[in-house]
Structure 1
Amino acid sequence: MSKIVFLDVDGTLIDYEAKTPASAKKAVDQARKNGHKVYICTGCSKAEIEQRDLPELDGMIGGNGAYVEDAGQVVMHQGLSKEEVQKIVDWCNERKLGFYLEANSGMYANEYMKEQGPIVMQKYATGKGADEASAKASANSFVNGFIFLENEDLYREDVNKISFILSSYQDHLDSKEAFPELVANTWGGKGEQALFGDLGPTGITKKHAIEVLLDHLKADQADTISFGDANIDLSMFELCHYNVAMGNGGEGIKAAADYITDDVNEDGLYNAFKYLKLID
């Protein structure tokens, strides 16, 4: 019976240098040829995903659930209002925090990201196991993908969520207090270390987005499988019938998994697809 597979991206489908292992591409291609549907379910928005070298997919869930697409058709898109974006932009700028607006049309950043972004993204990559040279190249490539804007030009109405650099964990705690009507998360470094905070619309989770997509597909929850490496993926695990944690994942996601596969760069995805008989 065909399955519906949901893959987190960073640390699951691709490594922390934003490279997709050849075995992962092979696994996705073969699974789709075998009649299974494969979707990414990621915190990234479409503009960021389009910069990645990914295998062909059946669709995507982006912005941690703000955007759902199937076979090129937009199924759901629920982002931040322009007023909410303006408040967050002003709040970050007042604290001199680098941030970027995650929209399907692009990644829009403030001036602080030019200096802060490469440092933090290099720390992100090295914390996940990349060597210094690869981490620096990956960080520069990531920041070069930003569109830098100033002042009112950052007050946009097409934003899925906003990620901002944490000068300390207190910034995340303060963001929760400043924006109680929004969902506040953290992401970054090794395990569940917080390097970035992010703010997105309430009610938006990977779990909710999968429910929307399954309803659109008229598909059965019993046929779902999810793959993840971090606590942000736990909402996928709450819904999907069978759940796989990557070997490089954090302890929280591993504890919730039905199966733990190998690291992303040790053919983890391919080996799990074989184990689950998605591929021969």
Structure 2
Amino acid sequence: MNRHYIFLDVDGTLVSYENELPESAVTAIKQAQKNGHKVYTVTGRSKAEMYEDILSIGFDGYIGGNGSYIESDGEIISERSLSYEDCKNIVDWLRDKGLEFYLESNEGLYGSEYFAERAQKPLQVYTARKGNEDADKITVKDAFPDMIFGENLYREKINKISFVLNDYSDYLEAREVFSDFKVGTWGGAGETALFGDVALDNIDKQTALDLLMTYLNESDKHTIAFGDAKVDIPMLEYCTTGVAMGNGGTEIKEIADYVTNDVMSDGLYNAFKYFGLI
């Protein structure tokens, strides 16, 4: 059996958007590792959002911040983050615009003064779009249980800064003001987006995988990637095989080599079985 490097997105792939982790996924990952395969998470989450139920699975490595941080077998391969000055400039602009935000780092998530209040409705809308019937009950504390408030918001080693959009024009203005950075949106398509974010430019899941595999001297080996969203497409395109989750969007399904079941319908387990990983 050829050793595969398996790369898993987290939200919508490993866990549901309600943070439910299927036991079948844990079983598949551990069995694949016993069979000699290497399994990595590749996620937009900073390490502070990789809670114990996920970390306890025991991955061979972790790529976070959509590629800004790379770790393999406990060793840091690459870490790129916003500088203190970058963070200060972005935070000052957001405050001047009256936009609530949070800083994402490997050490923690740091929320602005009114983020918990202002982000609750957008989070409920976002969660409802993902099919959660109890979306109207979700709070920022539910979504980000370890978010820290009341701390200094001028920091270094920040992977990304996300902010609530009062209007889509806020995103357009941010993109113009921070043209040297990667400015994106999440929470919805096009002008229905709910949140914006700012991070370093020229980093994505594909560049991270290329850097990792080159470092490991395994760039010509068998690779398989699993994802559910547009942000995962570069990762699927990089790998030998790309798998889209059944709950994924149309765009990623169209470019995938294989479409498996939904995350909560044993999607990972069934795909691992289909490709002979377990």
Once the two structures are overlaid, the 10-residue window that deviates more, 117-126 or 96-105, is 117-126
TM-score (normalised: structure 2):
0.93
- Counterpart of 1:238 in structure 2 is 237
Cα drift, residue 247 of structure 1: 0.8
1:76-127 Cα offsets, whole Å, 9 max, x none, are 0000111111111112122222211110100011012120222222222221
Contact between 1:187 and 1:193, CA under 8 Å: does it hold in 2? Answer: no
- Counterpart of 1:228 in structure 2 is 227
Cα drift, residue 31 of structure 1: 0.8
Question: How large is the RMSD of aligned CA atoms in angstroms?
Answer: 1.9
The change in CA–CA distance for 1:208 and 1:184 in structure 2 (over 3 A counts) is: same
Cα drift, residue 171 of structure 1: 1.9
- Counterpart of 1:167 in structure 2 is 166
Matched, 1:37 2:28: no
Give distance in 1, aligned partners of 2:199 and 2:189: 23
Cα drift, residue 190 of structure 1: 8.0
| % identical equivalent positions | 49
SS in 2 for 1:38: strand
- Counterpart of 2:118 in structure 1 is 116
- Counterpart of 1:56 in structure 2 is 58
Once the two structures are overlaid, the 10-residue window that deviates more, 189-198 or 1-10, is 189-198
Matched, 1:148 2:149: yes
Give distance in 2, aligned partners of 1:195 and 1:5: 31
Give distance in 2, aligned partners of 1:271 and 1:28: 12
Contact between 2:210 and 2:219, CA under 8 Å: does it hold in 1? Answer: no
Matched, 1:218 2:220: no
Give distance in 1, aligned partners of 2:139 and 2:268: 22
- Counterpart of 1:80 in structure 2 is 82
- Counterpart of 1:4 in structure 2 is 5
Once superposed, which parts of structure 1, at least 4 consecutive aligned residues long, lie more than 4 Å away? 189-193
Contact between 1:192 and 1:230, CA under 8 Å: does it hold in 2? Answer: no
- Counterpart of 2:107 in structure 1 is 105
Cα drift, residue 164 of structure 1: 1.2
The change in CA–CA distance for 1:148 and 1:138 in structure 2 (over 3 A counts) is: closer
Once the two structures are overlaid, the 10-residue window that deviates more, 258-267 or 93-102, is 93-102
Once the two structures are overlaid, the 10-residue window that deviates more, 52-61 or 137-146, is 137-146
SS in 1 for 2:14: coil
TM-score (normalised: structure 1):
0.93
Cα drift, residue 224 of structure 1: 0.8
Amino acid of the residue matched to residue 99 of structure 2?
L
- Counterpart of 1:66 in structure 2 is 68
